[in-house]
Amino acid sequence: MVSKSTLPIDIFPTWARLNDVEFTNAKLQETDGKGIGLVATNNLTASVESCGLEGAEDKPELEGQVCNSDGEKDERARVETHGRANNHLRKILQVPHDLILSTASIEEYSKVDQNFRQLLDSAGHQPALVSERALTTADCSSSKSTRADIMLYLLAHLVLSSRDTSSPRDLVPTPWTEYLKFLPRDIPVPTMWSELERALLQGTSLEAALDAKLSALNKEFDELIERSSTLPFWNSFFLEREAVTIDDWVLVDAWYRSRCLELPRSGHAMVPVLDMANHSHSQTAYYDEDDEDNIVLLSRPGMEISIGDEVNISYGEKSPAEMIFSYGFVDHASTVEELTLPLELLADDPLRKAKLHIFRGSPTIKLSRSNGKISWQCPFVYLMCLNEEDGLEFRVLQGTNGDRELRLFWQDEDATARADDFGDLIKDHPLCQIFRLRAVSVLHEVVTDHLMQLSSEISHDELEPLRRAGQIRDGRLQLAQKLREMEASVLGSAAAALDEQAKQHLKQTLPQIPRKLPQVLECQGTFSAFLA
């Protein structure tokens, strides 16, 4: 396993000067409760008029991205206002384009170091194995591959940076080899929590996401070791004297998730120094790429930053679970109240495997509360609750390329391309209210089950000895308690809202019971509670 020691931040200016990083109006220093951050060294004011940014606003996140699973939406995948990046009076920091760690820069590095080229060809360009389904809904393949390649690069240079002496047969060092020595080895994301600390998340939306993530990381690491063991250089570099372990892979994954940015032109990337800027709901700065593709940090229009103030950027509007998962903290100023839960398929449904194959995505339910009102999104639940008697059918047909493929039919019409749109497909069906009642009843059961799990917390008498012994750290305990409280509140509201929806659907269904009794009885097990 690589060394746990890091370099003190007071010698960082030397690294910055050697690599042409310009601290125009800021410096790195310890901040209150946030670790290292950027602090202003001058008074800064950027007026909207003088900077030509009137009406500027943040660029919204792309809907449906994870980029989790990593190229993930749970990254700092947020690009803000595109300003006049050459305005020196507003510039806080500038990082040369050559220091950006991206798909393009890794490809260039592989041309310089043939050993890394071998590793990249053997184990790189891999899509992520899991899409943190309990947090996100989709991902883009390019960002997944970027994640895999950047993690290989980080792992290789982490090993190189921990060696006492260099060898002619080592990798070609880069500025990142030294930069990694400044990065923290203990990151408060749940993948780096102890087993006891992870148990605090049982019943929350993070439980399933964390289990899936840890399973994926173990599988990725096993595949990496298997592939690299066939390459003499990497077999020696990684495996002799146990140079790398699963803990190192978990560490570089945590670095990537908590520090990756989405740049306007370079895409998903890691930017040294800029990645030390902390998050704030009322951010005072934004980042951009200038005409020479350098990364610049600029003060936001209309913002005043005084000497000694911390310079903050925004990581985006995310739920508490997403913030904890990717960054290891909760934004107490955020008003986002939402969570995403996995949706388990009905065990006795003979079509469950076919439905999952056609749907392709991860079945989840997303619950949101805004201004006291609950809304939910769960495209799969309608498909999940339909069966052959309703008019659902699967057929194996010959495709245009000659291969046989599974197709989905609804009322004898091909609905394969609309597997996630059955909420709309059923709206004109005579049994629409019955179908909706089934769906709402299933969701009500999922929500109440999770609410019950959250109500069974570990007692204070059990926690206190573990906390005093250092087996459960205070920061982790506070995060888990905050998440449990928030999610229990949303789940309670959701249970009440779904209960009311089910009663409304049942009320509209009752007049149809005498002539449609079989279809009503089909879902009696899930909505009998609402008959009272």
3-state secondary structure 75-125: CECCCCCCCCCCCCCCEEEEECHHHCEEHHHHHHHHHHCHHHHHHHHHHCC
pLDDT at 27 over 70: yes
Q: Give the mean pLDDT of 365-390.
A: 96
pLDDT at site 46: 61
CATH topology for 9-320?
A: set domain protein methyltransferase, domain 1 (3.90.1410)
Task: Categorize the per-residue pLDDT at 139 as very low, low, confident or very high, splitting at 50, 70 and 90.
Answer: very low
Contacts 24+ apart (CB under 8 A), 413-422: 416/358, 419/355, 419/358, 419/359, 419/360, 419/383, 420/359, 420/361, 420/379, 420/380, 420/383, 421/379, 422/379, 422/382, 422/383, 422/386
Q: What ranges do the domains of the chain cover?
A: 9-320, 337-531
Tell whether the model's pLDDT for residue 170 goes beyond 90. Answer: no
Does residue 325 or residue 70 have the better pLDDT? 325
pTM: 0.84
pLDDT band at 48 (very low <50, low <70, confident <90, very high): low
Q: Mean per-residue pLDDT for 216-232?
A: 95
Paired sense of beta strands 310-313 and 278-279, if any: parallel
Indicate left, alpha or beta for 527 from its phi (over 0: left) and psi (-120 to 50: alpha): alpha
The mean predicted confidence, pLDDT, of the chain is: 84
Output 438-441 pairs: Cβ under 8 A, ≥24 positions apart.
Answer: 438/385, 438/522, 438/523, 438/526, 438/527, 439/378, 439/381, 439/382, 439/384, 439/385, 440/498, 440/501, 440/502, 440/505, 441/502, 441/523, 441/526, 441/527, 441/530
Residue 117 has pLDDT above 90, yes or no: yes
Looking at residue 526, its pLDDT comes to 47
- Give me the CATH topology for the region 337-531: set domain protein methyltransferase, domain 2 (3.90.1420)
Predicted pLDDT of residue 530? 46
Joined tokens for residue 488: 């229990």
Look at residue 310 and give its three-state secondary structure: strand
pLDDT tens, position by position, 67-78: 343 434 433 444
What local confidence, expressed as pLDDT, does residue 167 receive?
62
Q: Is residue 245 scored above 70 in pLDDT? A: yes
pLDDT at position 86: 43
Question: pLDDT tens digits, residue range 479-515?
Answer: 999 999 999 999 999 999 999 999 998 888 776 655 5
The CB-side HSE value for 523 (13 A sphere, CA atoms) comes to 29
pLDDT at 228: 93
Distance of CA 33 to the CA centre of its chain: 23
As a whole number of angstroms, the distance between CA 405 and CA 332 comes to: 49
pLDDT, greater one: 45 or 522: 45
What confidence score (pLDDT) does residue 456 get? 75
Query: What φ, ψ does residue 369 adopt, rounded to 5°?
Result: -125, 125
CA-atom Rg of the chain in angstroms: 26
